[in-house]
């Protein structure tokens, strides 16, 4: 079922959903199931599965020279989606990236998803590979998520890359895209970022999931701004509980989001990571309660592959 249909069906009640990461190469599917199992009692209508593009690693050879190797540390997004739909009978939402994909690769990827009965996809540009500063598309790949949305929407109309294909069938993907309450890190202003977000919606995206934020006011202002710009699609808040002291530096650096002073100082003064974890859970519960009061359609939690703290939050909320 489509995310937009889940929202309609719930008649205004906030629902629970979460995102998982494929495990590191070498682990089996049980490592995923072990983290999903404890969260199923909160009835998530869908589970997102992130996509991780290849990385370049340099391995020293016997002659001392470095050999560049391309590795994919977290493969398996499509297989995990199939396994989730099969085992839990809930919608699995694969993330689909521009990065690392030509248009042809994308089309074939989408065909696989369609054959598997996947109804939703999250269309994203992806970040630059770790060894590069700026995002570079593949030759004949997409530069921006809005172009990827167009390709998915074309397939929904039965328009494949090969215009000579006759009697093509249509796909029926519901398309999610990313939104950034504190603006995307490369965007020169929130204004321009929302302008391009609207472009993704105009090209066929159906709903928005936000980057994590720790101050609900940022989300409320973002929603107001989007509505003023004529974006009417549902805007699902993405939440992540802090769980380690290290994240105080890592989150602003990696995601360019602000952490409120009260949260920062509580974490700074915490005696160990067990205490930080509890602070993160309580902060996230308070955020969740306020967001529910405002009638958000979903609370979408970034589990980062660990279910225990999300479970502690969901127990208080759902
Ligand atoms: P875009 O919408 O293409 O925007 C990228 C930047 O370009 C923005 O600054 C935007 O303002 C600007 N822009 C857009 N269109 C134009 C234009 N036409 N001209 C000029 N500028 C333009 N990454 C992964 O690798 N795997 C994942 O699974 C994943 N899941 C995510 C899930 C969510 C909910 C979110 C919020 C992010 C996720 N990301 C993931 C990270 C995401 O890939 C990065 O944030 C990436 O840098 C931007 O992706 P986007 O889809 O928002 O890009």
CB of 241 closer than 8 Å to CB of 313: yes
184 Cα nearest atom in ligand 1 = 9
48 CA distance to ligand 1 middle (Å): 16
Distant-in-sequence, close-in-space partners of 297: CB < 8 Å, separation ≥ 6: 7, 10, 14, 15, 234, 236
Q: Residue 280 belongs to a domain with what CATH number?
A: 3.20.20.220
Domain, as residue range, for 94: 3-317
Q: What is the pLDDT of residues 288-304, one digit of tens each?
A: 999 999 999 999 999 98
Please give the Cα distance from 149 to 175 (Å, whole number): 7
Q: From ligand 1's centre to the CA of 197, what distance in Å? A: 10
pLDDT string in tens for the chain (318-residue length): 999 999 999 999 999 999 999 999 999 999 999 999 999 999 999 999 999 999 888 889 999 999 988 899 999 999 999 999 999 999 999 999 999 999 999 999 999 999 999 999 999 999 998 878 899 999 999 999 999 999 999 999 999 999 999 899 999 999 999 999 999 999 999 999 999 999 999 999 999 999 999 999 999 999 999 999 999 999 999 999 999 999 999 999 999 999 999 999 999 999 999 999 999 999 999 999 999 999 999 999 999 878 999 999 999 999
Total count of domains within the chain: 1
Q: Distance between CA atoms of 56 and 22, rounded to whole angstroms?
A: 19
DSSP 8-state secondary structure symbol assigned to residue 167? S
What distance in angstroms lies between residue 178's CA and the mean position of ligand 1's atoms? 6
Q: Indicate which residue's Cα is closest to atom 20 of ligand 1.
A: 196
């Amino acid at each position: 079922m489509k995310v937009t249909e889940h929202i309609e069906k719930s008649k205004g009640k906030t629902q629970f959903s979460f995102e998982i990461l494929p495990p590191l190469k070498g682990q089996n599917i049980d490592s995923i199931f072990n983290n999903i199992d404890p969260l199923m009692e909160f009835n998530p209508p869908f589970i997102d599965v992130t996509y991780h593009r290849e990385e370049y690693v340099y391995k020293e050879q016997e002659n001392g020279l470095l050999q560049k190797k391309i590795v994919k540390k977290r493969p398996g997004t499509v297989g995990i989606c199939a396994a989730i739909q099969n085992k839990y009978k809930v919608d699995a939402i694969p993330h689909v990236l521009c990065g690392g994909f030509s248009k042809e690769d994308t089309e074939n990827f989408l065909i696989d998803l369609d054959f598997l009965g996947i109804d939703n996809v999250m269309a994203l540009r992806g970040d630059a590979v770790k060894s590069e500063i700026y995002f570079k598309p593949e030759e004949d790949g997409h530069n921006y998520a809005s172009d990827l949305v167009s390709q998915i929407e074309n397939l929904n109309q039965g328009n494949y890359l090969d215009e000579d294909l006759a009697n093509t069938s249509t796909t029926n993907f519901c398309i999610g895209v990313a939104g950034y309450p504190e603006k995307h890190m490369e965007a020169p202003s929130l204004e321009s970022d929302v302008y391009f977000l609207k472009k993704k919606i105009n090209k066929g995206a159906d709903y928005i999931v936000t980057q994590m934020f720790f101050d609900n006011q940022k989300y409320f202002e973002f929603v107001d701004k989007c509505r003023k710009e004529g974006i009417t699609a549902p805007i699902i808040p993405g939440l992540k509980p802090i769980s380690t002291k290290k994240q105080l530096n890592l989150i602003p650096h990696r995601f360019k989001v602000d952490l409120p002073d009260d949260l920062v100082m509580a974490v700074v003064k915490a005696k160990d990571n067990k205490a930080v974890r509890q602070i993160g859970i309580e902060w996230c519960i308070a955020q969740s309660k306020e967001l529910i009061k405002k009638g958000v359609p979903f609370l979408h939690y970034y589990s980062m592959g660990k279910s225990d703290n999300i479970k502690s939050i969901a127990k208080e909320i759902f």
